[in-house]
Amino acid sequence: MQFSVDTFVPVADGVFVAVAEPAGVNIGVVAGPSGCLVVDTGSSPAQGAEIRLRAEELTGVPVVGAVVTHWHYDHLYGVAGFAGLPTWAHETVPASLDRPEARRASAALGVEHGSLAAPSDTFSLARVLDAGGRRVEVVHFGRGHTDGDVAVIVPDADVIFAGDLLESSGPPSFGDDCHLKEWPSAVDGILGLVTEHTVIVPGHGRPMDRLAGFTQRAEISGLYGQVEYLVGHGVKLTEAYEAGEWPFDEATVRAVLPLAYAQLAAEGKVPRPQLPLA
């Protein structure tokens, strides 16, 4: 597995983004007068430590802490590299390290699972953080890509880090732990703060503007709405792809359909045979 952290580039005054591999994840740095805050920590403790060092070289001020946008390995597994500093995440994140998928991710990365650290400070809804004299807000707008997504808002720069609630490098990542029905309203929390000048930094891919954010929100909502419609009309999972109109590519849709059907079934919505019209 090839680990690397690309050059930090400015996206606004004192706000920088670098891409970390192997997952192509956006790492943010918000620089204040006396310290800087890191957004997402990379895929291993060593990568987290590298990000911490690079953030200090970049800004010339000490890192005061890091925020983790959600529990997936590419955002969380660098936390141990920030030892001695506060690291913030939604309250669901620490326990997620015990999930079997989290252990599988460590094994695939070649990272010793026991070397990982959980974030030191958690919250349920929102926190205001001091990024070395600069105000940063972290907000959980509800479940979406995971059960504990947080957006990181830099009001004076009009920048919002969206985590994987939004992505511009491809379709959003619909893992088994996502919440399809609730996802659009979590994105609405972000879009409600966005102006025509806002820079939205997605979890993966280049910065997005308001229109791109609204478009992807509509696509996520459209996907779920289409499945709900098909289920309501008695269309079985095996026939769903051909029967529907989809906002994403075939591979993405086929991968997410079983999950969408399962999430609807959990609400008691299953395809029932339709009576033929007389």
CA distance 143 to 187: 10
Q: Which is nearer to Zn ion, 23 or 257 (CB)?
A: 23
Piece of the chain touching Zn ion by CB under 5 A; list 15-23, 53-61, 70-78, 80-88: 70-78
CB of 259 to Zn ion, least distance (A): 15
Q: Is the dihedral of CA 260, 263, 264, 270 positive or negative?
A: positive
The window from 38-46, 156-164, 234-242, 262-270 that contacts Zn ion (CB under 5 A) reads 156-164
Bond before 100 cis per omega within 30 degrees = no
What φ, ψ does residue 191 adopt, rounded to 5°? -65, -25
Query: Contacts with Zn ion in 247-276 (CB under 5 A)?
Result: none
Size of the site for Zn ion (CB under 5 A): 2
40 C-beta neighbours (distance < 10 Å), count:
30
Residue placing its CB nearer to Zn ion in the complex, 173 or 185: 173
Answer for which of 80, 164, 174, 253 binds Zn ion (CB under 5 A) is 164
* 149 is a contact residue toward Zn ion (CB under 5 A): no
Stretch that binds Zn ion, among 24-32, 39-47, 64-72, 92-100 (CB under 5 A): 64-72
Q: Return d(Cα 97, Cα 70) in angstroms, integer.
A: 11
Nearest residue relative to Zn ion (C-beta): 72
Q: At closest approach, how far in Å is the CB of 61 from Zn ion?
A: 29
Window contacting Zn ion (CB under 5 A); options: 3-11, 131-139, 158-166, 245-253:
158-166
The residue (of 76 and 231) whose beta carbon lies closer to Zn ion is: 76
Q: Per CB under 5 A, does 72 bind Zn ion?
A: yes
Burial of 138 (0-12, 13-18, 19+ CB in 10 A): buried
147 binds Zn ion (CB under 5 A): no
Shortest reach from residue 149's CB to Zn ion, in Å? 8
Q: How many residues in the chain?
A: 278
Binding window for Zn ion (CB under 5 A); candidates: 65-73, 109-117, 223-231, 238-246? 65-73
Maximal CA-CA distance, the chain = 77
Q: Which residues between 181 and 240 bind Zn ion (CB under 5 A)?
A: none
Name the burial class of residue 124, with classes exposed (0-12), middle (13-18) and buried (19+) by CB atoms within 10 angstroms of its CB.
Answer: exposed
What are the backbone dihedrals phi and psi of residue 105, each rounded to the nearest 5 degrees, phi first? -65, -40
| Dist CA 81 CA 5 (whole Å) | 14
Rounded CA gap, 176 and 111, in Å? 22
Least separation, in Å, of the C-beta of 167 and Zn ion?
Answer: 9
For residue 277, CA distances in Å to 40, 240, 246 come to: 55, 21, 27
Minimum distance of Zn ion from residue 68's CB (angstroms): 11
Given the complex with Zn ion, which of 50 and 164 has the nearer CB atom? Answer: 164
In the complex, the residues that contact Zn ion under the rule CB under 5 A are: 72, 164
